[in-house]
Amino acid sequence: MPPKATPDTAQKIVIGRFGTPHGVHGWLHARGTRSQSIKILSECSVWWRRAGGEWQLLSVESVRAHGKGLMIKISGVDDREQASLWCNADIAVHRADLPVPVDNEYYWCDLVGLTALDDKGDKLGTVSGLMETGANDVLRIEHGDGEEILVPFVDVYVQKVDIEGGNILLDWKRNW
């Protein structure tokens, strides 16, 4: 049974978005999700909303891997026409419901907002997001002048992540 959480008291983390229907039985593609999300979507309270709308609790009937993403079957959605009504809705879980990451693993939401420092302790900027590439994830760091720095999130460049301290130490120069 998923942990109980209320929308007023817990931070929601968007983990994907419903894509197009798949087949004729109400399945939907889930964009932005990874195969690791199957366990999260199966065990946590799941929420959804359309752009500008209110979060609503979602009843997930089933989740399965499909290519590089996932397919989700929502309880009560049994045909392609019903499934099409969910297209482009965000999918979220409460941060508190997520499993504790193991050493040297981080949720993207925990990295956003960290101060990025170079190996001398000088500020490079603030982590504004990450992006997934074929080879590795990439940190997006915004500098005060509107410039964006892209740094591969790999051990050779990431020296230390200090979530509690609010910073990430990188072997990177601003002008690279």
Long-range own/partner contacts, residues 112-115 (CB < 8 A, 24 or more apart): 113/166, 114/161, 114/162, 114/163, 114/166, 114/167, 114/168, 115/166, 115/167, 115/168
Nearest of 28, 30, 5 to residue 17 by alpha carbon: 30
Q: What is the pTM of this model?
A: 0.68
Written as tens digits, the pLDDT of the chain (176 aa) is 333 333 344 588 888 899 999 999 999 999 876 666 788 888 888 999 988 899 999 999 999 988 878 899 999 999 999 999 999 999 999 988 888 888 888 888 889 999 999 999 999 999 999 988 878 899 999 987 778 999 999 999 999 999 999 999 999 987 76
| Beta strands at 12-22 and 27-31: parallel, antiparallel or unpaired | antiparallel
Structural domains of the chain, with CATH: 12-97 (2.40.30.60), 108-170 (2.30.30.240)
Task: Report d(CA 159, CA 123) in Å as an integer.
Answer: 14
Phi-psi region at 129: left, alpha or beta (left = phi > 0; alpha = psi -120 to 50): left
First to last CA, the chain: 49
Task: Report d(CA 65, CA 71) in Å as an integer.
Answer: 6
CA–chain centroid gap for 27, Å, is 21
